[in-house]
Chains A and B, each alone.
Chain A
Amino acid sequence: MGSAVDALRQNMEEALGNGDTRFIINLAEVSMIDSSGIGLLVRFLASSKQRGGNIKLVQPSKFAVQTLRLVGVLNLFEIFDNDDAAVESFA
C-alpha cells in the first residue's frame, strides 16, 4: 500500500514499456506484503509471462511467504535465496 507499491508499479510499467520481460524482485527488506502489493505482483507476472518472461522473488520474509500462500499465489512464483541464483535461473 502507498508509496512503496506506487514506486514498484511505476518502475515495472517503465521496464515493461522498454521491452524488459525478465525481472528479479528482492524482498529482503520488505517485512510484509499487503493485498495491493500482491495484486501488483500477479498483474505484472501475467504481463511478463505473456511476453515470454517471468518474475522471480528473492529473500521474501517468512511472513511474506505465508501471506502469498494464504491467498493461493505462492506457487505462481519461483523463490530464491539470493540475486545470483535468481539471475542464473533465467540462463
Chain B
Amino acid sequence: MSAEFRGGPEDSALSELLDLSMPANSEAIGTVVDTISENLAHLEVPEEKRLEVALSVQEALANAVVHGCGNDPSKKVRCQLKSDPKGRIVIIVTDPGPGFSPDSVSDPSRHENLYVDHGRGVYLIRQLMDEVHFEHGGNEIRMWKY
C-alpha cells in the first residue's frame, strides 16, 4: 500500500476510461472538456452532474496550463477519466509544474475578495465535486464525483 494517501480506492481497483494528453494551450482545453462530457453522457451520468464535472475539469486544466506549465505549449497536461467498481468517477489532471500548496488558496466568497478578478478556480472545484485531493506536491489533482 502506498504511504501517500489517495482519495477513493487504490489505483488498481479503478477502470481507466480515458487517458488524454494536451499541449499547455488554453485553446486545447475545450476539446478535452467536451470529450470527458461525451463519455459521461455515454455512462448516463445526469446532465447536472456532467456540468459540474465539466466546469471542474475546465478549471483544473486552466490551472495546469497557466500555473503548472506557464502557458508553454511545448509542455503537456495529462487528463485521465477513471471509474471505480461502484460506478463513481474520478478525473485526474497532472501537469509537470512545481505544484502548489492548496491550503494557500484564499476564500473568494469573503467580502474583501468579492471583486477580485482571480483565485476562484480551486474553490469552485471543491464546491462542485464530492471529493478533491492534491497529490505529488500539488501538481496532480484528483476530483471525485459520486
Smallest CB gap from B26: residue in A: A2
Q: Write out, one digit per residue, whether chain B residues 67-110 have a CB within 8 A of any chain A CB (1) or not (0).
A: 00000000000000000000000000000000000000000111
Q: Which residues of A contact B51 (CB under 8 A)?
A: 31-32, 63
Number of A-B contacts (CB under 8 A): 62
> Quick one: CB contact mask for B35-69 with A, threshold 8 Å, 1 for yes?
00000000000001001001100110010000000
Q: Mark B102-137, 1 if CB is under 8 A from A, else 0.
A: 000000111000111111110110011000000000
Q: Separation in Å of the B14 CB from the closest CB of chain A?
A: 27
Question: A65 to nearest B CB, angstroms?
Answer: 12
Task: Give the B interface residue count (CB, 8 A).
Answer: 26
- Tell whether A72 pairs with B58 under 8 Å between CB atoms, given A2-B26, A35-B121: no
- The smallest beta-carbon distance between B104 and chain A, in angstroms, is 16
Hey, which chain B residues are within 8 Å of A76, CB to CB?
Answer: 114
A24-43 interface (Cβ within 8 A of B)? 31-32, 34-36, 38-40, 42-43
Cβ contact within 8 Å between A72 and B114: yes
- Name A's B-contacting residues (CB within 8 A): 1-3, 31-32, 34-36, 38-40, 42-43, 45-46, 63, 67, 70-73, 76
